[in-house]
Amino acid sequence: MRERRLRVRRLGRVDYETAYLVQKEIEAEARARTGPDTLLLVEHPHVLTLGRRTDDAAVVASAALLAERGVAVFESNRGGKATYHGLGQVVGYPVINLSPEREDVHKYVRDLEETIIRALADFGIEGFPIKGLTGVHTARGKIAAIGIHLARWVTTHGFALNVNTDLSYFNLIIACDGEHVTSMSDLLGRDIPLADVEDRLVARFAEVFGMTVEEVSGVRRRAEPVLNSTSDI
């Protein structure tokens, strides 16, 4: 398999809609093969996203409570059900063309899981997949969710890794069929700089997918931690 380039863009803290529009621009490039494969790394303000398999009972919080806690709600064309994105979480959006060498959506999802598992291992955390489920789990709960969209073998959406996440926001929804959730800071007993986690995700993504990181553009995070700040196909 030929080695491919990976363009990494660290957008910092951006709202969900803005990140989606950036993905759509890159998706058009990927389809036309006018740009390299891209990995977007972002942190979202508080938002609930509703995937294609979300049912009406998924959001258990009232509109008033969501407004009080500053949580937006977006319907999404990704796979999966309802999930939460917010401060202290690293969200990765790979926009890559799987054709022709990687035309296997299930392998793509497994490779995303493997990327996260290897990155977690760099911090001394043991992550693992669970047969029949999507995402990455630990002995104390699910730590990363995956939900993707695929059109003409070009991927959008991706994964969300709980780093220093305030896990109480997951109580606003029935996430991942009620699975318990955890975070890196919850497991390690300390906050971790998001920039450090992004670095390991980039390195492990390039490793798993056989890519060369050619350029890093966008907003570079500061080194200090941000506090509290499947596929579902």
What is the predicted pLDDT for the residue at 218? 54
Q: Please give, one letter per residue, the 3-state secondary structure of the chain.
A: CCCEEEEEEEEEECCHHHHHHHHHHHHHHHHHCCCCEEEEEEECCCEEEECCCCCCCCECCCHHHHHHCCCEEEECCCCCCEEEECCCEEEEEEECECCCCCCCHHHHHHHHHHHHHHHHHCCCCCCECCCCCCCEEECCEEEEEEEEEEECCEEEEEEEEECCCCHHHHHHECCHHHCCECCHHHHHCCCCCHHHHHHHHHHHHHHHHCEEEEEEEECCCCCCCCCCCCCEC
Residue 64 falls inside a structural domain? yes
Residue 228 falls inside a structural domain? no
Residue 40 falls inside a structural domain? yes
Where helices occur in 33-146 by DSSP H, the ranges are: 63-68, 105-121
Q: What's the CA gap between 76 and 206, in Å, rounded?
A: 27
Residues with catalytic roles:
176
Strands 141-151 and 136-138, bridge-based pairing: antiparallel
Tokens of 133: 């489920």
Residue 226 falls inside a structural domain? no
Residue 200 falls inside a structural domain? yes
pLDDT by position in tens, the chain (length 233): 566 899 999 999 999 999 999 999 999 999 888 888 999 999 999 999 987 666 667 888 899 999 999 999 988 778 677 889 999 999 999 999 999 888 999 999 999 999 999 999 999 999 999 999 999 999 999 999 999 999 999 999 999 999 999 999 999 988 666 689 999 999 999 999 999 999 999 999 999 999 999 865 554 444 333 333 233 33
Q: What's the CA gap between 208 and 191, in Å, rounded?
A: 26
Residue 225 falls inside a structural domain? no
What is the predicted pLDDT for the residue at 230? 34
Q: How many CB atoms lie within 10 A of CB 30?
A: 24
Residue 105 lies in domain: 4-218
**Amino acid present at 41:** L
Residue 230 falls inside a structural domain? no
What is the predicted pLDDT for the residue at 222? 42
What is the predicted pLDDT for the residue at 1? 54
* 212 three-state secondary structure: strand
Residue 112 falls inside a structural domain? yes
- Total domains in the chain come to 1
CATH of the domain at 157: 3.30.930.10
Q: What's the CA gap between 41 and 159, in Å, rounded?
A: 10
pTM (whole model) above 0.85: yes
What is the predicted pLDDT for the residue at 76? 79
What is the predicted pLDDT for the residue at 203? 97
With 0-12 / 13-18 / 19 or more C-beta atoms within 10 angstroms meaning exposed / middle / buried, residue 54 is: buried
**Amino acid present at 54:** T
